[in-house]
Amino acid sequence: MLTRIDHIGIACFDLDKTVEFYRATYGFEVFHTEINEEQGVREAMLKINGTSDGGASYLQLLEPTREDSTVAKWLAKNGEGVHHIAFGTEDVLGDSEAIRGKGVRVLYDQPRTGSMGSQITFLHPKDCGGVLTELVTSHPEH
Ligand code: CMX
Ligand code: CO
């Protein structure tokens, strides 16, 4: 069951500059940074709220690490902006399989590693009204 907004993914050309915008404008601080080579991104997670069941919500700021990454391709076409939304679930594989059964393309057969040790998959934006949609099962610590 999808129970919350896990994060909103925002693509940018310059991660440090974008982090500074969110700090100076809203007071959001960086909770975590990492490079995900498989996804081709350097990212900063800004924690917006925490909840008692461990299901926090974040902004995920994304800068491409290589020319052929999906985010680089998207930035070249669209410029900076909202790239995807992500719903949280305790069972990313089970929920994605159920959604696949409704005729929505799921991009991965098995969940892959996302931010902070989470397990993630994506739904094709063309089957979701133009919204690239990620499903996330957080690492138990987050
Ligand atoms: N939101 C909405 N539509 C999108 C999109 C996005 N983020 N990315 C691509 N599209 C649309 C394009 O506009 C295009 O539409 P048109 O045919 O009408 O022009 C269509 O989808 C195909 O786009 P494309 O540029 O040819 O891109 P690809 O098909 O090569 O890749 C996708 C699209 C969704 C398969 C790819 O972006 C993907 O695999 N995404 C999942 C992984 C990812 O995004 N990783 C980065 C984030 C990591 C994280 O969150 O941790
Ligand atoms: Co994401």
Atom index in ligand 1 nearest the CA of residue 86 equals 50
> Rounded to 5 degrees, what are φ and ψ at 90?
-80, -10
CATH code of the domain covering residue 94:
3.10.180.10
Q: What per-residue confidence (pLDDT) applies to 44?
A: 98
| Ligand 1 contacts CB of residue 58 (under 6 A) | no
In a domain, 31, yes or no: yes
Q: Model confidence over 68-98: pLDDT tens digits?
A: 999 999 999 999 999 999 999 999 999 999 9
Expressed as residue numbers, the domain containing 114 is 2-137
Q: Model confidence over 93-123: pLDDT tens digits?
A: 999 999 999 999 999 999 999 999 999 999 9
In a domain, 45, yes or no: yes
Reply yes or no on whether 119 is catalytic.
Answer: no
| Ligand 1 contacts CB of residue 6 (under 6 A) | no
In a domain, 142, yes or no: no
| Ligand 1 contacts CB of residue 105 (under 6 A) | no
**Ligand 2 centroid, distance to 103 Cα (angstroms):** 22
Reply yes or no on whether 37 is catalytic.
Answer: no
Predicted TM-score (pTM) of this structure: 0.96
Q: What per-residue confidence (pLDDT) applies to 55?
A: 75
d(CA 95, CA 91): 6
Q: Is 137 exposed, middle or buried (0-12, 13-18, 19+ CB in 10 A)?
A: buried
pLDDT score of 142 more than 80: no
In a domain, 14, yes or no: yes
Total domain count for the chain? 1
